[in-house]
Every structure is written in C-alpha cells, then in structure tokens.
Amino acid sequence: MEKYLKIDNISDISDDKWTELADELKKGSLIIYPTDTVYGLASIVTNEQSINNIYLAKSRSFTSPLIALLSSVDKVEEVATISDENREVLEKLAHAFWPGALTVILKRKKHIPSIMVSGGDTIGVRIPNLDLAIKIIDLAGGILATTSANISGEATPKSYNELSEAIKSRVDILVDGGECKLGEASTIIDLTSDVPKILRKGAISTDEITKIIGRVRW
C-alpha cells in the first residue's frame, strides 16, 4: 500500500484500504497516526522487533517505556493486571476520563515484551478520544504500543505539518489527520502505589482527578 494516507473522515476510506492497513499493522509495520493529544508513533505489541524499531526511529533511550493505546476498556486486562483495590479507582477514572487524555499506570501482564516497558513491571494504558485513532488501533487488534512521533529532543507534533522529515522517513505508514484537537500530552497517573500518584501533569488537571477519586500524590 502507499505510505501516505490523508484521512479527514473514516468513511472516505474504502473497506479494501482498511483491510490493507490492518494487514500492514499486523505484519509489524511502523505507523505515525493522529490521536486526540499529539501524533503517535506505533506498532503492534506482539512484535518485539517492531517495538525495537520504534526506539531506533525516535533515537530514544531504551530506559523510556512506551504506552499501550487501546480501542476499548475491555482491552485493559489483555495487557495489565488490575488488583482488587485498584479496580474501583480505575473504573471511576475510566468512566470520567476515557476516552480521553488520561494515561493510567498498572501492573503489566507477563506476555508484554520487556523492551516495551524498559524491563519494568508496569504499563501505561489509555483510550484516545478520536474516532480515527480508535479505528487504527482496532485494526491492529485493539492495542498499539505508542509514543509521541518525534525524534527524542524534538518538539512533540500537534499536527501532521509539525512532523519532522526525519521521523517520517523512518516509518512505513503515515496517516495525515490534520491537527490534533487537544495538542497537549496526556496526564499520567500511577495506580500501583498505595495512593494514586500523578507522574505527569497534562491535559487533565489534578483538581479534576481528585474530584473523582479523592486524594492523590504528585
């Protein structure tokens, strides 16, 4: 298939083209695609070589983990373990902020490649609030290992036009969806400690989160 796809509306793309894209993703091709926050660089989670290629494409340190973008809430437990004490908190957060700009850190399932999570025992998960992103993730089986689509040290791209030529040259598929509607990174909250901890402030404020689940640390 051609490398560049301009997609303004999901309905503009034929079923054959979607099938072609799904086949490419399942082969382990690298894709740059829009999310609600910023443009993402991604591959399927089951192909360790593809995940390795994400790090190489970004010139990213292997000590910086990727996150899993999901197409639906029921995919969470395919990649993460939810403890009894975390389940209620996660359900509240998911109800309030998913799909949306909140990344939640949970304990990873053993089958998740170690390289994706920098050898750690946790994984970040998020459901983006953008139909095009959900469609692409769904084509890949509902889960994409994702990071921002920039060379490490570059500005994070909030629109297709902000992608560098360098990063575009290092992937197999480019999806141009114009500008990201938020243009701000997700907030990251860690649910693996006794008290939920904000690891990164982003599009969702700490105040919004505390209104839903009470006390948090940061």
Sequence letter at residue 61:
S
Per-residue pLDDT of 43-66, as tens digits, reads 999 999 999 999 999 999 899 999
Does domain 4-81+103-184 sit in CATH 3.40.50.300? no
Q: Which residue has the tokens 């791209």?
A: 157
Q: In the structure, what pLDDT confidence band is assigned to residue 151 with cuts at 50, 70 and 90?
A: very high
pLDDT value for 188? 98
Predicted pLDDT at 37: 98
Q: Give the per-residue pLDDT at 92.
A: 97
Can you name the residues that pair with 80 across neighbouring β-strands?
108
pLDDT at 15: 96
Binning pLDDT at 50, 70 and 90, where does residue 1 land?
Answer: confident
DSSP state of 114: G
Q: Are 174 and 78 in contact (CB under 8 A)?
A: no
Local structure of residue 44 (DSSP, 8 states): -
Give the per-residue pLDDT at 85.
Answer: 85
Helix (H) / strand (E) containing 91: helix 84-97
What is the rounded distance in angstroms from the CA atom of residue 71 to the CA atom of residue 79? 12
pTM for this one?
0.96
| Torsion of Cα atoms, 154 then 140 then 14 then 57, to 10° | 30
* pLDDT tens digits, one per residue of 96-150: 999 999 999 999 999 999 999 999 999 999 999 999 999 999 999 999 999 999 9
Please write the tens of the pLDDT for every residue from 160-193. Answer: 999 999 999 999 999 999 999 999 999 999 999 8
Residue 86 CA to residue 187 CA, distance in Å, equals 18
Q: What is the pLDDT of residue 139?
A: 98
Domain segments of the chain as ranges: 4-81+103-184
Average pLDDT value for residue range 60-73: 95
Q: Is the dihedral of CA 204, 209, 211, 212 positive or negative?
A: positive
Question: What whole-number distance in Å separates Cα of residue 32 and Cα of residue 41?
Answer: 5
